[in-house]
Amino acid sequence: MLHIRLGEYLETFIEAAAEKGEPFFDAVSVSIETIVKSFQKLLYWPEPMVMIIFFTILSYCVIARKKGLLNKKGLKSAWGMSVFTFLGMSLLYNLGLWEDTLQTLALVITSTLIALIIGIPLGIAASRHDCLEKVVKPVLDLMQTLPAFVYLIPAILFFSVGDVPGVVATVVFALPPAVRLTNLGIRGVQEDVIEASKAFGATEQQLLIKVQIPLALPTIMAGINQVIMLALSMVVIASMVGAGGLGERVYTGILQADIGLGFEAGLGIVIIAIFLDRITQSFGMRKDR
């Protein structure tokens, strides 16, 4: 019987690609490294307490602005969120996890940014061309269902170990919702509004910028929220290829069977997750009027 040596073929292909494309991958590697390092520097720069207060005020302002300051319920949820942020972040500082927290934040922000820079234009393109959508969909399915560990291996081959392969693996894992929800949002814009815009002479570009994207924005924002959440869920897995931060602490906890360390770092991830989720979710909502 004929054996298909799929694994072997893929390995040969990836090794060849890694070798041939070395200058390219090096360039990518350097740029991602630079972005992560700059975010880290920016976040490390102020005193931890100053940073915590900044995050607290940020969460208050963002939520209050969206939910409406005059509205009692909005005010309450803004207060609740800022109290949570302050207590949660202070706890992380107290546990000595502050640097790891910021590093995780830097990794998440970098991966999210890259995923959005690729994902949103791709989603817009897919919404305008049915054939592109047909090609992109199965690829996205593959990206989402293939166990995340599997593409850690080629990531190491291309980018060796450290933060960079972690970011790359995270981008691959977190990208699909950005594409999907952008596509969905734009396709979901009411047909009659589009027709009206065309009737008044809107060009394709005007239609996209003035009508489709603004109306799809809540859906696109939900996509961005999902990207962030998926990126965060990758931090532990990414630490297996050498990415730092809270994920690395959890991973150490697993390796050393250190329940306490694993739990503390895990709690840290949860706190950041809630913080990022609430803030980005409120971006997705329409202004309360």
Partner 1 sequence: MPKIVVKNIEKIFGNQIDKARSMFEQDISKNEILEKTGCAIGVFDASFEVYEGEKLVIMGLSGSGKSTLVRCINRLHEPTRGTVTVDGVNVRELSNEELCTFRQQKFGMVFQHFALLPHRTILENAAFGLELQKIDRDERYRKAEKALQVVKLEGWENVYPEQLSGGMQQRVGLARALAVDTDILLMDEAFSALDPLIRAEMQDELLQIEELKKKAVVFITHDLDEALKIGDRIILMKDGKIVQTGTPKDILKKPATRYVERFVEKVDMSKIVTAEDAMVPVGTVVYPGEEPKNILEKMDKNNVSYLPVVDKKGMLRGIVARDDIKNKIKGKRDKSIIIKPDSYVFAPETPLKSMLSSIAVLDSPAVVVNKSGIIKGTISEKSIVAALADAENKKYLEKHATH
Task: Please give the size of the binding site for partner 1, defined by CB under 8 A.
Answer: 20
Q: Tell the residue number behind the tokens 């208050």, with chain if given.
A: 60
Torsion angle defined by CA atoms of residues 162, 168, 172 and 178, in that order, rounded to the nearest 10 degrees: 120
Q: Should residue 196 be labelled a site residue for partner 1 when binding is judged by CB under 8 A? A: yes
Taking CB under 8 A as the binding criterion, the range among 33-41, 128-136, 179-187, 206-214 that sits at the site for partner 1 is 206-214
**Measured CA distances, 182 to 69, 109, 124, 284 (Å):** 30, 19, 6, 13
Q: Should residue 211 be labelled a site residue for partner 1 when binding is judged by CB under 8 A? A: yes
Cα separation, 205 vs 196, in Å, equals: 15
Q: Which is nearer to partner 1, 197 or 252 (CB)?
A: 197
Cα separation, 188 vs 181, in Å, equals: 10
Strands (E), the chain: none
Min dist CB 178 to partner 1, Å, is 21
Taking CB under 8 A as the binding criterion, the range among 22-30, 40-48, 197-205, 239-247 that sits at the site for partner 1 is 197-205
Min dist CB 202 to partner 1, Å, is 5
**Measured CA distances, 74 to 61, 63, 80, 130, 282 (Å):** 11, 8, 10, 41, 11
Q: Should residue 138 be labelled a site residue for partner 1 when binding is judged by CB under 8 A? A: no
Taking CB under 8 A as the binding criterion, the range among 147-155, 157-165, 190-198, 237-245 that sits at the site for partner 1 is 190-198
Q: Which is nearer to partner 1, 1 or 131 (CB)?
A: 131
Give the tokens for residue 111: 């991966």
Q: Which is nearer to partner 1, 26 or 204 (CB)?
A: 204
Q: Should residue 192 be labelled a site residue for partner 1 when binding is judged by CB under 8 A? A: yes
Q: Should residue 215 be labelled a site residue for partner 1 when binding is judged by CB under 8 A? A: yes
Least Cα distance to 235 among 171, 180, 177 occurs for: 171
260 Cβ partners below 8 Å, 6+ apart? 253
Cα separation, 206 vs 254, in Å, equals: 53
Q: Quick check: 174 and 227 in contact, CB under 8 A?
A: yes
Q: Tell the residue number behind the tokens 């360390």, with chain if given.
A: 261
Give the tokens for residue 147: 């166990």
Taking CB under 8 A as the binding criterion, the range among 34-42, 50-58, 96-104, 188-196 that sits at the site for partner 1 is 188-196
Give the tokens for residue 252: 């150490």
Q: Which is nearer to partner 1, 30 or 193 (CB)?
A: 193
Min dist CB 199 to partner 1, Å, is 4
Min dist CB 287 to partner 1, Å, is 9
Near partner 1 by CB under 8 A: residue from 72, 200, 255, 259: 200
Q: Given the rule CB under 8 A, which residues bind partner 1?
A: 190, 192-193, 195-203, 206, 210-211, 214-215, 217, 286, 289
